[in-house]
Amino acid sequence: MDTMDPVITQIREELQKQADPTVQKNSGRFFKEEIVCYGLKTSAVHAIAKKYWKEIKTRDKPEIFALCEELYRSGYMEEAFIVSKWAHLLNDRYEPEDLAVFRHWIETYISNWAECDGLCTHTIGDFIQEYPEYLDELKRWTQSKNRWMRRAAAVSLVMPARRGKFLDEAIEIADLLLTDEDDLVQKGCGWLLKEASREHREEIFAYVMEHKKVMPRTALRYAIELMPEEMRAEAMKKDW
């Protein structure tokens, strides 16, 4: 049996040392799922991730990925957040085959929206900007039975969409998720449309107006959040 990498042991000791029962108790409020956490604020987790990144960043990427798996396996949310941070710090070393690793993590370990968004918005967002030929793979995720894969299809494009990129693909993914019955997938879809509206307000407004009869209200509200009041009122109007 492999002995655990000392870095993992040190990280876990540090997380336990900084754990705050009050933070732990309050964390559950944001999730419908049962969550397992030490009870650290996000900023404290990021500080730990950065501190140990200095120790591991010169290692080979497969070795770093193995450490990430080890962290994910604990089921603790803070350890998942450290993975998100490390995976993003590797972004100058991404290669096409890394997407299979990220997909495996989502399918196997992700168990709430915060872990999903933590990994997808930065890591997969950066990956897709570097390798846009994998946008079709994201579209395939919309058909997964796993709700986090479906949410990932949308939130992975949130950062590129904020910069005005991939409008057509964002709309295609919204189409594929439009009638999804899972509210966390609907919110992810609405968030993607909202970010796309920063640079493409007219196109997203037209999209919402065209689909508002079938679009879940949750997704619709998110999508129009940044629009002027009169546009929002128009979109929310019920056409009986």
Assigned domain for 105 exists = no
Report whether pLDDT(236) > 70. Answer: yes
Share of the chain above pLDDT 90, in %: 94
In the predicted structure, residue 2 carries a pLDDT above the cut 80:
no
Task: Identify whether 139 is part of a domain.
Answer: no
Which pLDDT tens digit goes with each residue over 162-199?
Answer: 999 999 999 999 999 999 999 999 999 999 999 999 99
Output the DSSP codes for 177-189. Answer: HTT---HHHHHHH
**Type of residue found at 52:** Y
State both tokens at 73: 């396996």
Q: Is residue 34 part of a domain?
A: yes
Is 54 contained in some domain? yes
With respect to residue 181, please indicate whether it lies within any of the assigned structural domains.
no
Q: Residue type at 200?
A: H
Q: What is the C-alpha to C-alpha distance for residues 228 and 240, in angstroms, rounded to an integer?
A: 24
| pLDDT higher than threshold 50 for residue 1 | no
Is there a domain that residue 57 lies in?
yes
Tokens of 64: 């770093």
Question: Considering its fold, how many domains does the chain have in total?
Answer: 1
Per-residue model confidence (pLDDT) at position 117: 98
Question: Is 145 part of a structural domain of the chain?
Answer: no
What interhelical angle do 183-196 and 201-211 show, nearest 10?
A: 140
For residue 33, what pLDDT is reported?
86
**Residue 208, CB-side half-sphere exposure with 13 Å CA sphere:** 33
Has residue 36 been placed in a domain? yes
Among candidate residues 51, 26, 47, 56, the one with its CA nearest the CA of residue 38: 26
Q: How many Cβ atoms from other residues are within 10 Å of residue 43's Cβ? A: 7
Q: What is the mean pLDDT of residues 4-20?
A: 96
Q: What is the largest CA-CA distance in the chain?
A: 66
Q: What is the domain range of residue 85?
A: 1-90
Average pLDDT of every residue of the chain: 96
Over residues 28-39, the pLDDT tens digits come to: 888 888 899 999
The CATH number linked to 20 is 1.25.10.90
Q: Among 120, 126, 92, which residue's Cα sits nearest to residue 105?
A: 120
201 pLDDT more than 70: yes
CA atoms of 58 and 24, how far apart (whole Å): 33
The pTM assigned to this predicted structure is: 0.95
Cβ neighbors of 219 (< 8 A, separation 6 or more) are 178, 186, 187, 189, 190, 193
